[in-house]
Amino acid sequence: MSLYRDEGVVLRTQKLGEADRIITLLTRQHGRIRAVARGVRRTKSKFGARVEPFGHVDVQFFVKGSDFPGRGLPAITQVETLAAFGAPLVSDYAAYTAGTAMLETAERLTDHEGEPALQQYLLLIGALRTLAARAHEPALVLDAFLLRSLAVAGYAPSFGDCARCGLDGPHRFFSVPGGGAVCGDCRPAGSVVPSPETLDLLGALLTGDWAGADASETRYRREGSGLVAAYLQWHLERGIRSLRLVERSS
Amino acid sequence: MYEGAVQDLIDELGRLPGVGPKSAQRIAFHLLAADPADVRRLVNALVEVKDKVRFCTVCGNVAEADQCRICLDPRRDPSVICVVEESKDVVAVEKTREFRGRYHVLGGAISPIEGVGPDDLRIRELMTRLADGEVTELILATDPNLEGEATATYLARLCKPMGLKVTRLASGLPVGGDLEYADEVTLGRAFEGRRLLDV
Ligand SMILES: [Zn+2]
Ligand SMILES: [Zn+2]
């Protein structure tokens, strides 16, 4: 029997039995972890409110053997809030839906439970903090997060040089299976021709050039979101359910 | 694994909310040992609920006729609607005897991660009810959790142009408890919802 301590972000909760929940967290040291929180659905529970999605928490886990996460689900024995991102997000519907899509993506991009995913974890914390601060349009923060998450997972798209041969960009063509921007010689069948401004915007989001991204026009943001969604879909077996419900400016 | 009928019963019971495999087994063996008349009454109650109970065409609450008892009651104030997630929440609010208006049952809360969006709830029906101007106040009584809050935010914004008074149930400290035992999220919410003491 051992105790483990880590910090993490609550990605998802599921009901278990009468009063318990299974909590899925992305933790700093142990990657994605599922654990049982007993009694949290009772109104008298002391830590029910802390283990809601978007909660950034310091958690103590209890496991039966000496492996973590080990066989069977660990139990959560203590939780302290580090940052409650939920409250600022639920009062802004666009931010809430964008944030939900981030949590779902972070869960899907961390394939194996217990496998450290520090970069993904830091990206998520940073994106939630940015979203909660309302410094930029929520859909832009989401797209920046999705692009960087894909990059961390090894699927970095190119928005400048040709993704196939490396020829200096910019290029007119964009291919989801081809890895992003492609030159006229390399372009696979089915390549699209997005606005150059859209590719500039996506490049700005990937590199963190917020001044450039904030100055972009709505039509390029929409086109960019479409490309990001298609790119994400291509690299994940199943789509991200909540992406369809993300509210974007019209 | 048990044979045939017993296992079928355990499987069916196990699909009920909050019933795990162990509980399903316990209930199944309780029913096996029970008086046949008792079991018959249970069976009849199950069949009746599916035959007789419908959903109110106005508010979405469970009803035994086209409309529920509350919508049909002329003494209920038609200018106030209390929006809840489920029919069981209507029962909970009714128990307080504080509310004399009518209800609107959404059929759940917005939950993007489960694929449930605004179009999957009875929100369009609510907008239709608000269109004629008879309703002047909307009380948002969705659950005090993340999805309930997000649903309330969505509805409040949707109703804003209609010029209604939109209120949200206060959420805060459990009555009878000590302040020091409250978690910080609940305590923070209680601060947000504090009211003027006019003495
Ligand atoms: Zn090329
Ligand atoms: Zn009714």
Contacts of B174 in chain A (CB under 8 A): 43-44
Q: Could you tell me which chain A residue has the CA closest to the CA of B179?
A: A46
Q: Is B184 on the interface with A (CB under 8 A)?
A: yes
The answer to whether B112 contacts A43, with C-beta atoms less than 8 Å apart, is no
pLDDT(B95) > 80: yes
* pLDDT tens digit sequence for B104-133: 999 999 999 888 999 999 999 999 999 988
Q: Confirm whether pTM is higher than 0.90.
A: no
What is the DSSP secondary-structure string of A166-232?
---S--SEEETTTTEEE-TTTPPTT-B---HHHHHHHHHHHHT-HHHHHTS-HHHHHHHHHHHHHHH
* pLDDT tens digit sequence for B53-90: 899 999 999 998 999 999 999 999 999 999 999 999 99
Contacts of A53 in chain B (CB under 8 A): 113, 146
Confidence at residue B80, expressed as pLDDT on a 0 to 100 scale: 97
CA distance A90 to B66: 36
Interacting residues of B117 by C-beta distance below 8 A, sequence separation 6+ = A244, A245, B110
ipTM (interface predicted TM): 0.86
CATH numbers and ranges of domains, chain B? 4-52 (1.10.8.420), 65-168 (3.40.1360.10)
Q: Tokens standing for B11?
A: 């499987």
Pairing assessment for the beta strands A2-16 and A20-27 based on DSSP bridges:
antiparallel
Handedness of CA A63, A69, A72, A74 (dihedral sign): positive
Confidence at residue B38, expressed as pLDDT on a 0 to 100 scale: 94
* pLDDT tens digit sequence for A186-226: 999 999 999 999 999 999 999 999 999 999 999 999 999 99
Helix (H) or strand (E) holding B101: none
Amino acid (1-letter code) at residue A220? Y
pLDDT(B182) > 80: no
Q: Is B67 on the interface with A (CB under 8 A)?
A: no
Confidence at residue A29, expressed as pLDDT on a 0 to 100 scale: 95
Q: What percent of chain A has pLDDT over 90?
A: 79
CATH numbers and ranges of domains, chain A? 2-84 (2.40.50.140), 88-244 (1.20.1440.120)
Q: Is A78 on the interface with B (CB under 8 A)?
A: no
Confidence at residue B195, expressed as pLDDT on a 0 to 100 scale: 76
CA distance A109 to A117: 9
Number of H helices, E strands in chain A: 7, 7
Confidence at residue A72, expressed as pLDDT on a 0 to 100 scale: 82
Interacting residues of A223 by C-beta distance below 8 A, sequence separation 6+ = A194, A195, A198
The answer to whether A48 contacts B183, with C-beta atoms less than 8 Å apart, is yes
- CA B190 to ligand 1 centroid distance, Å: 59
Using pLDDT thresholds of 50, 70 and 90, give the confidence band for residue A250.
low
Mean pLDDT of A88-99: 94
CA distance B13 to B46: 13
Q: Is B140 on the interface with A (CB under 8 A)?
A: no
**Partner residue opposite B157 with nearest CB, options A46, A90, A93:** A93
Confidence at residue A64, expressed as pLDDT on a 0 to 100 scale: 84
